[in-house]
Amino acid sequence: MITFRKSQAFQNPQVSRRSLIILVLVVGLPLVLIGAARLFSTSLAKADVMEVARAVLEEHVRRNPPNREWKMTATRISDDDNLEMDVEVVNYDQAQFILSRTGRIRHSYMKLACPDFGAEVYRQLPKNETIWIQLHYNGSPIVRGACPLAKSLF
């Protein structure tokens, strides 16, 4: 006849209590610390986040001019907390060509001034925020619109 011996771990209640305490310390304590850190951490205000995104946009445009030859003339945070960029079309023929098109086609040309989706500026922007572009020639507006929304990681 086969007999089974009870293991010593089940016979000694101290071992199971000790295991429970270790489990709580290993799993529970880090969770409590993470929760406390989130509770006491300060997040940046939206205006501050937008200012950081504006600085990143300016640096990106300095290295990668819109449509390779257009010039960024200004960036700002609007009263609506939108990140806006003014872009000058420097070529007269290009400006006249864009002006001769319908609003929808003008908007397509305006999107040429938007940063690529992989640009760092999109990672700096809050979720569901994008860049607004004012395309103009010699100070006269051609078209204003929003860049397509990038897939946010946050």
Residue in 83, 91, 69, 77 with CA at minimum distance from that of residue 142 = 91
Alpha helices in the chain (DSSP H): 8-11, 13-23, 29-40, 46-63, 92-99, 103-110, 120-124
| Residue 153 confidence (pLDDT) | 44
Q: How far apart are the first and last CA of the chain?
A: 64
| Residue 32 confidence (pLDDT) | 65
Nearest-angstrom CA–CA distance, 133 and 140: 14
Consecutive 10-residue averages of pLDDT for the chain (154 residues):
54 64 68 59 73 92 90 92 94 94 93 90 88 94 90 48
Residue in 78, 70, 142 with CA at minimum distance from that of residue 112 = 70
| Residue 154 confidence (pLDDT) | 42
